[in-house]
Chains A and B, each alone.
Chain A
Amino acid sequence: MVPTHNRSRSLKRLLNGLARQSFPLSAFEVIVVADGCTDDTLQMLQNYRSPYELLWVEQPAQGAAVARNAGAAKAGSELFIFLDDDIDPSPDLVQSHVLLHSRPNKVVVGYLPLPHPQTEALYYINLWNWWEQKYQLMRNAGYRFGYTDLLSGNFSVQRSLFESAGRFDATLRCREDYELGVRLIKAGADFEVSMNAWGYHRDEVTKSNRFFQRKLHEGKADVKLARLHPELMLNLPLAQLRGPFTRKKKGLLFLLYKFPAGCDTVAKTASFFLPLFEKLRMRKAWYSGRTLLYRYWYFKGVASETKTEKVLRDLLAAGRPRAGDDFVDIDLSRTLTEQQRRIDKLRPAQLRFTYAGRVLGYAGNVNGVENIRSAQLKDLFSSAGLTAALQVETLTADTDTHKTN
């Protein structure tokens, strides 16, 4: 399913790529949802001759979330692969997605790297780096998937799970994938990354203004996300606006709410310096400037969505992390194979590590991430800082053994 908006050339490239799939072409259908297209997308679709079944839906511009839901409503099959219109799929993409859906609750995230940089432009290099690092993290056996891993450009899910999780939230124009990710995780979905279901993300963003616009939309979307899921508040960047209210924070909030137009002008002027810094190879200045501007536009989005400072403060006050769940005990003085099987069966949200009956500590209670799998044991344990405690316990146990011997 492909939502599209005024990108007929990219879309055509995607449709051509789908015609070269190793998966039998008669075994899948492609549904394109034209979201308020004013270019030649519809003509292209009408004239396109595809070896697979190609359907399309037209709708007035309402955003990708609505478009994807519309595609899902029209779909005839049980397995959905969502792709963005700017992806250039590898021939094995469909097959690789299909192969991993052995259980109904799987969500498969396909590898979607940016093409290798042909430029030294800082913004592109950074973007490429960011995406590669994200996918490489997901490849680790001990990785714990979170809602930010639902990347809507290339993922697959079965209809039953998609519907029971409640489909995309139609009110969101941005972060709709993250928000669906929250609900999928709550529904116990089993996330997996597939490096074989890959395609190039031929993102055509070339102007830095688009990046700032994205940050603005992210700020607005995060406010909505926080309203829908208050327990995630602390995970979001807007939580930085919580108290204690330093003078800097108070000043920022004052400017954002009282002089929005003025601040925008300053920010837009400041952004002219970035290309200059880059030309002069002043990297540190470029990075600092960019970070500052990103933060400005993000908080600007937050401010414009909340309208007044009071609304923002009420929203922040409502944020509460989810209370500690039931935990499962892991006794490190016994072999772990049986205990690992238990974890994979129970999928707890939290673990309590013990050693021969003595409690070492708790680990794993994090909002917005999947429940624990056995592959995450080692990482959870070391990140909880329990190694020293464990060393003491094993030393004591050894001494006791020697004593009794």
Chain B
Amino acid sequence: MPTAVLDLDLKGLPTEIKGLHGYNKAFTLCRIGQKPVGSTVLPVVNGAIRMEEVYDDLLNAAGLHLQTTWLEEFCEKAGLPADNRSCSPVTIAICTRNRTADLKDCLAALQQLPNDGQEILVVDNCPSSNDTRNLVAGYPGVRYVCEPKKGLNNARNRALAEATHGIVAFTDDDARPDPGWLRALSPHFDHPLVAAVTGLTLPAELETEAQEKFETFSSFSRGFQRKIYDTDSQNPLQVGGIGAGANMALRKSVLQTAGPFDAALDAGTPTKSGGDHEYFFRLLKKGHRIVYEPEALSWHRHRRTDKELQATLKGYGTGVYAFWTKALLVDKEFSVFHLSYRWFIHEQLPNLIKAVLQRPNAIPFKLVLYEIAGCAMGPWAYLRSRRR
């Protein structure tokens, strides 16, 4: 049965939510006054949820944020000024290919952002039609650029080259950023060490089983606590937990130190993914800081069918191993052997076994297999891609 997706603000809860027929549960984002603080899954009874029954659940989901938000408000009322960090204008970049319907929703969401002088740039990567061009023509404030060289990383590099402002915020075309997205990302760049900021990505819908499986086993979400990743406390090869390119902002000037995105990696190449993670790896090695900011919220439409889900997971495996292959060959990162061993022995193999034994909450056997198959193909995919 599908799961509903709800967005509730603890400061303005209705007494009841109705119209949820066809769902038996609801994935719920909790906010306190616009700020996302936690998520939980609430039971739906007869197509409705009564707030008084789930209030405790929501408060638990908010956790310590309740106290910190309360203190912020108390201080503001008492006359203590809030921290004010300067914000520079941002270029929002959407790299897209043949997904005009999704792009339309994305652009509609971006129109809801408050005007802080941002520019919106659509990079149409190797399109097979003029649909995207025509769509963007209908948005006078949005710039259109066509990048003929196939590959998501080529599109990202083009976006960085074309961006007018010093900070570029990337969103995928199948994601809908929250109105507070930009204002949560940009203040972090006030700190000179920060090269990138990643945000929280939640599912826009959980209508199909494939989408539910993706959210359960391969979610984009990295939690509701801000995290700081520095070179001395984070293994630069283990960047999966930092975030994803579907919701990230970069300081343009890091191109000088870290170089451009690797055109041999990510979607549009045999390696399928990993281009964003390989870049995070390079940023950390150069001594930069990456911040995970959960208030930079975006809603992502996961793939709807099982086939697409399998391809996605296989692609993730390929991407990670491709990135590690590059790290080994180019940067002499010998520890990739140890990391791949650990991943297989401590995660992938146990997951396979749990699936075979049909343990509850086990990742479906097929999905683990696809991921491992993807991993196996990773190194060759990288070499093939590099030769191209």
Contact = CB atoms under 8 A, between A and B. Distances in A.
Interface of A: 113, 116-117, 120, 125-126, 128-129, 132-133, 136, 140-142, 279-284, 287, 332, 335-337, 340, 377-378, 381-382, 387-388, 390-391, 394
A157 to B, nearest CB: 26
B79 A129 contact: no
A378 B40 CA distance: 31
Main secondary structure of the interface of A (DSSP, over half): helix
B192 A136 contact: yes
A394 B73 CA distance: 13
A129 B192 contact: no
Nearest to A337: B79
Nearest to A391: B70
A136 B231 contact: no
B346 interface: no
Interface residues of B, number: 29
Contact of B71 (A133, A142, A340, A387): A387
A394 B74 contact: yes
A336 B80 contact: yes
Contacts of B191: 136
Contacts of A120: 285-287
B320 to A, nearest CB: 17
Contacts of A280: 334
Tell me if B's interface is mostly helix, strand, loop or mixed. Answer: loop
Contacts of A388: 67
A283 B235 contact: yes
A281 B286 contact: no
Contacts, number: 69
Interface of B: 67-68, 70-71, 74-75, 78-81, 83, 191-193, 230-232, 235-236, 257, 285-287, 289, 331-335
Contacts of B286: 117, 120, 125
Given A281-B332, A388-B67, A332 B78 contact: yes
Contacts of A116: 257
Contacts of B83: 140-142
A187 to B, nearest CB: 29
A281 B193 contact: no
Contacts of A287: 232
Nearest to B191: A136
Q: Which of A117, A287, A337 has the most CB of B within 10 A?
A: A117
A141 B318 CA distance: 47
A136 B193 contact: yes
Contact of A117 (B68, B70, B81, B257): B257
A185 B333 CA distance: 48
Given A129-B193, A136-B192, A282-B335, A378 B75 contact: yes
Contact of B230 (A129, A282, A394): A129
A126 B231 contact: yes
Given A133-B193, A382-B71, A387-B67, A117 B287 contact: yes
A281 B80 contact: no
Given A129-B193, A381-B71, A387-B67, 16 more contacts: A116-B257, A120-B287, A125-B231, A125-B286, A132-B193, A136-B191, A141-B83, A142-B83, A281-B334, A281-B335, A340-B80, A377-B80, A388-B67, A390-B71, A391-B70, A394-B74
A269 to B, nearest CB: 24
